[in-house]
């Protein structure tokens, strides 16, 4: 068995070389929580070893973020500073790669003013539209990964001493990202090849509709736009290399038609959204629009999300994830979207990835809308997969092909 330190080094290498795949001479913008500084130092070293021109650190401190939310002047929440714009939009324009480490306390924002939070998200998204558009159409390579923090480990393994909870979370993450394999980089290449097979099948089939059904109460039909493209396991950068935007990743995903969802969908996992939990929620769709919704927990946070803009009430992503995977087989609720979304079929409310329709990255806003791509300032994944989930694909001729049975792929 490898030591903790060696596993951490291998994981850092994996994030740098397979995840964000930093290129020789490229600038890397690295975001990391202050309490995970030791791991950030490993990432910086691995990035320079891989040939990075410069690693630009962006330290995150969510306790400061919480204090700001509670105590700063109210006008602050409708602003985004010019220097922040220059930072993100500037590095994006210069072709930098962006690696972000997330280790959030799932409830750091519990009880914070949801209106202030959504105003803050809106101001930021509007100011960074250029950066976001480039990121969502693969013009900049990017990757999100996670390492444990004490508050997060306590939430996932309640009742355990801190040191045990941290060790358990580290080893759960190492298994989920295949660091425990003999040769992690090789294991990722195999994994990517397996995902590619599914992509080929789905891209060739060109289903016009997917029909979901399970015992939780989901009975949903989702239309897919003409010339939609499925992706997964890696994103192609225009310069010809592949990066993996989420590590772990088990999903294959595309865009639904923004006017194409009909029926009811019920969540299968709690959603940790901006430091708040939303639990046991559902949406009723009519022609793509959420016409009714509810939640047993976190309804006010959900309401703020839905009211962000028109596009926040429509779907922007449909993702298929087998119930049987290195993440879901651990049967752990991570309270972290990066892991939970890769343990379960999911949708996203909000902005669609323009790459998911043929020619999308070169289309204007109007052309994308006409092609069926949803637009919004938000993109929030929520989980719907269950051990009994069935999904059928319907093609243009009306023929039905089983895609999922009992929570797993049958294609």
Q: Summarize as ranges the residues that interact with Zn ion (CB under 5 A).
A: 251, 253, 317, 319, 348, 381
In this complex, which beta carbon is closest to Zn ion, that of residue 304 or of residue 381? 381
Cβ atoms of 393 and 400 within 8 Å: the answer is yes
Is the CA virtual torsion 198, 351, 143, 267 positive or negative?
negative
- Smallest distance, Zn ion to C-beta of residue 382, A: 9
Which of 289-305 are b and which e, b meaning 16 or more Cβ less than 10 Å from the residue's Cβ?
bbeebebeebeebbebb
Helix (H) or strand (E) holding 228: none
In this complex, which beta carbon is closest to Zn ion, that of residue 26 or of residue 138? 138
The residues, ordered by sequence, that sit 6+ positions from 99 with a Cβ below 8 Å of its Cβ are 15, 16, 19, 20, 22, 28, 29, 30, 31, 43, 47, 142, 143, 144, 145
- Smallest distance, Zn ion to C-beta of residue 380, A: 8
Cβ atoms of 352 and 375 within 8 Å: the answer is yes
- Smallest distance, Zn ion to C-beta of residue 374, A: 12
End-to-end CA distance of the chain: 36
Angle, CA 41 vertex, CA 37 and CA 43 arms, to 5° = 115
- Smallest distance, Zn ion to C-beta of residue 259, A: 20
Question: For residue 53, what are its two tokens?
Answer: 């021109």
Question: For residue 102, what are its two tokens?
Answer: 């997330």
- Smallest distance, Zn ion to C-beta of residue 199, A: 14
d(CA 165, CA 162): 5
In this complex, which beta carbon is closest to Zn ion, that of residue 101 or of residue 343? 343
- Smallest distance, Zn ion to C-beta of residue 341, A: 5
- Smallest distance, Zn ion to C-beta of residue 3, A: 33
In this complex, which beta carbon is closest to Zn ion, that of residue 7 or of residue 328? 328
Whether the bond between 306 and the residue before it is cis, its omega within 30 degrees of 0, is no
Sort residue 261 into left (φ over 0), alpha (ψ -120 to 50) or beta: beta
Bridge partners for 254 per DSSP: 318
Q: What is the largest CA-CA distance in the chain?
A: 59
In this complex, which beta carbon is closest to Zn ion, that of residue 105 or of residue 340? 340
In this complex, which beta carbon is closest to Zn ion, that of residue 266 or of residue 343? 343
In this complex, which beta carbon is closest to Zn ion, that of residue 8 or of residue 251? 251
In this complex, which beta carbon is closest to Zn ion, that of residue 44 or of residue 385? 385
- Smallest distance, Zn ion to C-beta of residue 52, A: 27
In this complex, which beta carbon is closest to Zn ion, that of residue 26 or of residue 386? 386
In this complex, which beta carbon is closest to Zn ion, that of residue 251 or of residue 340? 251
Helix axes 114-127, 62-71, angle to 10 degrees: 110
d(CA 60, CA 40): 11
Residue carrying the six token digits 């290129």: 23
Q: What is the 3-state secondary structure (H, E, C) of 229-276?
A: CCECCCEECCCCCEECCECCCCCEEECCCCCCEEEEEECCCCEEECCE
- Smallest distance, Zn ion to C-beta of residue 342, A: 8
């Amino acid at each position: 068995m490898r030591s903790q330190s060696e596993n951490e080094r291998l994981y850092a290498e994996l994030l740098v070389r397979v995840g964000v795949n930093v290129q020789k001479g490229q600038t890397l913008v690295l975001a990391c929580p202050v309490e995970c500084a030791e791991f950030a130092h490993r990432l910086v070293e691995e990035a320079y070893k891989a040939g990075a021109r410069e690693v630009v650190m962006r330290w995150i401190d969510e306790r400061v973020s919480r204090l700001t939310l509670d105590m700063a002047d109210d006008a602050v929440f409708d602003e985004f500073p010019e220097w922040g714009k220059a930072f993100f939009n500037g590095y994006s324009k210069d072709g930098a790669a962006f690696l972000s480490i997330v280790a959030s306390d799932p409830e750091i924002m519990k009880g914070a003013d949801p209106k202030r939070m959504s105003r803050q998200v809106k101001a930021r998204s509007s100011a960074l539209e250029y950066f976001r558009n480039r990121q969502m159409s693969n013009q900049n390579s990017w990757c999100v990964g996670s390492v444990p923090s004490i508050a997060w480990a306590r939430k996932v393994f309640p009742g355990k001493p801190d040191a045990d909870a941290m060790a358990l979370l580290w080893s759960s993450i190492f298994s989920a990202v295949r660091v425990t394999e003999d040769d992690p980089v090789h294991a990722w290449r195999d994994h990517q090849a397996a995902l590619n097979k599914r992509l080929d099948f789905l891209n060739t089939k060109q289903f016009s509709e997917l029909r979901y059904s399970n015992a939780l109460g989901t009975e949903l039909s989702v239309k897919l736009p003409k010339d939609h493209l499925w992706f997964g396991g890696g994103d192609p950068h225009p310069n010809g290399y592949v990066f993996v935007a989420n590590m772990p990743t088990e999903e294959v995903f595309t865009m639904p038609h923004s006017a194409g969802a009909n029926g009811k969908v019920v969540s299968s996992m709690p959603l940790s959204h901006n430091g708040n939990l939303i639990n046991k929620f559902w949406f009723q769709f009519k022609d793509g629009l959420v016409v009714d919704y509810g939640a047993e927990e976190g309804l006010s946070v959900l309401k703020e999300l839905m009211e962000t803009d028109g596009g926040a009430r429509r779907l922007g992503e449909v993702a298929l994830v087998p119930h049987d995977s290195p993440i879901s087989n651990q049967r752990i609720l991570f309270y972290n979207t990066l892991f939970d979304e890769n343990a379960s079929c999911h949708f996203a409310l909000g902005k669609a990835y323009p790459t998911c329709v043929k020619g999308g990255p070169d289309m204007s806003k109007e052309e994308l809308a006409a092609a069926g791509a949803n637009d919004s300032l938000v993109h929030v994944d929520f989980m719907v997969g269950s051990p009994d989930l069935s999904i059928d694909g319907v093609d243009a001729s009306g023929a039905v092909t089983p895609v999922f049975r009992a929570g797993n792929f049958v294609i």
